[in-house]
A and B are shown apart, each in its own frame.
Chain A
Amino acid sequence: MPIRELRTDDLDQECSKCGRVVAVPFTAIAAGISREGQVNTNVMALPACATCGSAEFLLRSPYDEDHPSQGSYGHKHKLLVDKLHAELVQRGRVAEGLKPEDVPTKEPPTAVVDRWFKDGLRLEPPPKTDGEGQ
């Protein structure tokens, strides 16, 4: 459950392994990875978890792919990842050796974001326990 909330200059990340929630500033991450000439512009590597050392990668969605369950948790998380990826590129936060114009983005339309995030770019995790409802 990586992104809990996306704010102006940082995001809340929940570690999938240990559940630790940390605020990650945009200045600590970049769009794309580039290693020894092997470049992947769709991926954003988050800092390793200080508790368990896990390394999380966020993946911008492919252009030709629409999520089959609109409004689901997976769909909303994908919108947050796509918006974060576009935000980093707009701010010039791209991996070393890349230029912003070399990193294609898929920023979701404002109307789509407004429809699924009426209370802000916040994503509560789905219920984990049966019987939690009213």
Chain B
Amino acid sequence: MSGRTDFFFRQKVTEAELDLAFELLELADRNLAADIGVYGIISGAEPTPHSPVPNLTVDLTAPTRAYDNLGQRIFFGTGQVVDCSVDLTGIPTEVPVAGQERWLGLFLRFERLLSDPRTDGNSQQVFFRRDESFEVVVRQGPLGPVGGASKVPLMPDELLVCDVLRKNAQTQILAPDLDVSRRQAFIFAQGDAVQIVSGVWSILAPAVNTVQAALDEVDSELADHFGGTARRHPAGDIDYTPHGFVAASDVQTAIDEVVDDLSATTAGNPGAQRVGADAVSGTPNALAASNVDSHLSQILGWLNAHLAATSGAHNASAIAAAVHSYIAGTTVQAQLQEIVSDLALQTAGSAGASRVGADAVSGSPNALAAGTVDSQLADLLADGNDHVGATSGAHAASAISVADSGGNLTASNVETALAEILDAFEDDHFRGNEGSAGQHRTIHQPSMGSGKVLLWDANGVGAAATHLRVYVDNDSLWFTLNASWNGSAWARDSTGNFCGGFRFSRSDFEILHEDSFAATFTTWNRSWRLAFRDVPNSAFTTNGVISEIGRLGYESHNTYNATRNMAVGGANTFRSRFPATPSSITFSETSSFNAGGAPDLWDADRDGFGYFDYVNVAANTTLYWFGTYQAVA
């Protein structure tokens, strides 16, 4: 309710009286809100960066409804764009210094919107309408270092929408720059102004029965509970979902089970088996990911194996050793190396052998006195040199044995071995104490096998092309140059040269030639064979590429007194018998007279050929033709 005015009959009402009536009514409305404590932004006025392109303005959503601390209603129905580049007094809000910042405060403030101007009785212009309106106010705080600038204080008659952060060289206000943590949202009523009934509560006992006191009591209880000072849960009242090897369904039982299982010493099921262990790298041993029980077993095994090792347990350099005598090293490795180095020394007076003691050795004719290996070696060398330097009588040959690892001798000592060698030597040679010492007697050769047996192999001047060999087989004796018998074929010593040879037997004699340059061959591709008992046996029978050049010719005379066609010709026998009928015979003229050219060939075979011609010869005229032939077969 509000204060009232009671206008009366025939009262002449003044402006001030009418205004008072409205003000009393408006005051009652605002007092109600203020008394209840209603104030703040009910809805709307949500700040967002300007859209579509952010700049130094901030968009506020609409519709917006709010009440300030005086109960004045603030409303706007359309979205607002708030320029944050200047404050309410027009002063720029920019931050001119790098490393500093400034907070702005966006406030809503109640305002009257005057309209409908009229002229009163005093000829003054007044506004008949004074509607409720609003104003968005930008206030700026002082500059401060980044993270340390203070925010704008709250205004008693304004509502804070949000704080806005301004930074150096800023051209856009983005979402992270908007802070609504201090936004003055709507409060309907104060908690201590609302009554509650707590008579049947079992836990909460607020000091007074108001909402505020009840919430304070809840907060205290929760603080005790969360802080663990009181109101704690028994572990048995906390549920637990069974997991892994723990089957219990509450925390108390689960913990008991964990403790029991971890402390178990049962063989094959100890607590360590339930504790995981990650992989551990190392050399020479490494552990794969498993559990503590497994790792302990492996480590124990390695340790026992190491302690029981009979070799390779440690590097000698890892084992300490005490200095002793002339050994100065402090580890086994160092001492061993030092010993080896000292033993290997060849320095006169401190050689390794001088480090090794030697006892006396009796003997005859020589004996060794006790000393060092060095001294005894010197004594032995002297004795040996004396022996080797002996110019006579050092040993009887019969006292020197022969090892004969090759099994070449019957004898077992030098004396009998020399006799045995000379017995064998003198069969085909003159002895050293005879005339023509060392020269051959008759050469005797027993049977040395079958096939072609090599009797003589001589490479007199070292040239492969003239390497001489003599073979014999069941029928013939072979002499070859640049050819050896490999068991199945003739093999060239030099593949760049011809091979030559001859063979004779009891029935024939054959000259051999091979010019193919093949590495091996089985047939001599040219040969001249004289068979002692063949027909004919007056000439060689040739084989291979044979070319013969010989003479032929004819001469005749026409004794008639008129020209006559004369038949002329003859026959020729080859020097050797060709392997076959020649395939080519060439006649070359050496001289002719009245002949019409070379004669024609006639009746050729492997032994020779005939030739003929028909020539018209003048009366009492001679004709002749002489030339050579060349035959190829």
Contact = CB atoms under 8 A, between A and B. Distances in A.
B587 A59 contact: no
A59 B582 contact: yes
Contacts of B546: 74
A132 B494 CA distance: 11
B579 A45 contact: no
Given A38-B612, A69-B525, A74-B546, A59 B517 contact: no
Contact of A2 (B496, B517, B525, B632): B632
B434 interface: no
Nearest to B541: A68
B586 A55 contact: yes
Nearest to A33: B600
Interface stretch (A22-30, A46-54, A86-94, A110-118): A46-54
Nearest to B627: A54
B632 A57 contact: no
A56 B585 contact: yes
B545 A73 contact: yes
A78 B580 contact: yes
A82 to B, nearest CB: 8
A4 B598 CA distance: 23
A8 interface: no
Interface in A67-97: 67-69, 72-74, 77-78, 81
Nearest to A82: B583
A59 B589 CA distance: 20
A79 to B, nearest CB: 9
B403 interface: no
Interface in B533-587: 543-547, 565, 567, 579-587
A78 B583 CA distance: 5
Contact of B580 (A40, A52, A65, A127): A65
Contacts of A67: 579-580
Contacts of A59: 581-585, 601, 604
B582 to A, nearest CB: 6
A46 to B, nearest CB: 9
B497 interface: yes
Given A38-B602, A130-B498, A15 B583 contact: no
B19 interface: no
Contacts of A74: 544-546, 579-580, 583, 632-633
A134 B515 contact: no
B581 A62 contact: yes
A53 B497 CA distance: 36
A7 B487 CA distance: 43
B496 A81 contact: no
A38 B612 CA distance: 9
B545 A133 contact: no
B517 A16 contact: no
A35 B585 CA distance: 18
A15 to B, nearest CB: 7
Contacts of B585: 56-57, 59
A88 B613 CA distance: 24
B632 A1 contact: yes
Contacts of A56: 584-587
B543 A126 contact: no
Classify chain A: how many residues form its interface, as a range.
35 or more
Nearest to A74: B633
B191 interface: no
A58 B584 contact: yes
B133 interface: no
B600 A133 contact: no
B587 A54 contact: yes
A43 B604 CA distance: 9
Interface string B401-435: 00000000000000000000000000000000000
Given A35-B612, A40-B603, A48-B598, A57 B580 contact: no
A24 to B, nearest CB: 13
Contacts of B515: 126-127, 130
B496 A134 contact: yes
Contacts of B581: 59, 61-62, 65
Contacts of B605: 62
A134 B517 contact: yes
A131 interface: yes
B583 A61 contact: yes
A3 B584 CA distance: 9
A17 interface: yes
A60 to B, nearest CB: 8
A36 interface: yes
B294 interface: no
A91 to B, nearest CB: 20
B569 to A, nearest CB: 9
A58 B605 CA distance: 12
B588 interface: yes
A16 B614 contact: no
Interface string B585-596: 111110000000
B586 A17 contact: yes
A130 B588 contact: no
A51 B76 CA distance: 133
Residue from B494, B496, B633 whose CB has the most chain A CB atoms within 10 Å: B633
B630 interface: yes
B523 interface: yes
B100 interface: no
Contacts of A65: 580-581
B597 interface: yes
Contacts of A78: 580, 583, 633
Contacts of A1: 632
Given A69-B523, A72-B544, A134 B579 contact: no
Interface of B: 465, 494-498, 515, 517, 523, 525, 543-547, 565, 567, 579-589, 597-598, 600-605, 612-614, 628, 630, 632-633
16 contacts: A1-B632, A16-B584, A35-B614, A40-B601, A45-B600, A54-B587, A55-B597, A56-B585, A57-B587, A61-B580, A62-B605, A67-B579, A68-B543, A130-B498, A133-B496, A134-B517
Given A74-B580, A133-B517, 8 more contacts: A2-B632, A40-B603, A52-B588, A58-B584, A65-B580, A72-B525, A77-B632, A133-B497
* 8 shortest interchain CB distances as A-B pairs: A133-B517, A55-B598, A133-B496, A54-B588, A57-B601, A56-B586, A2-B584, A16-B586
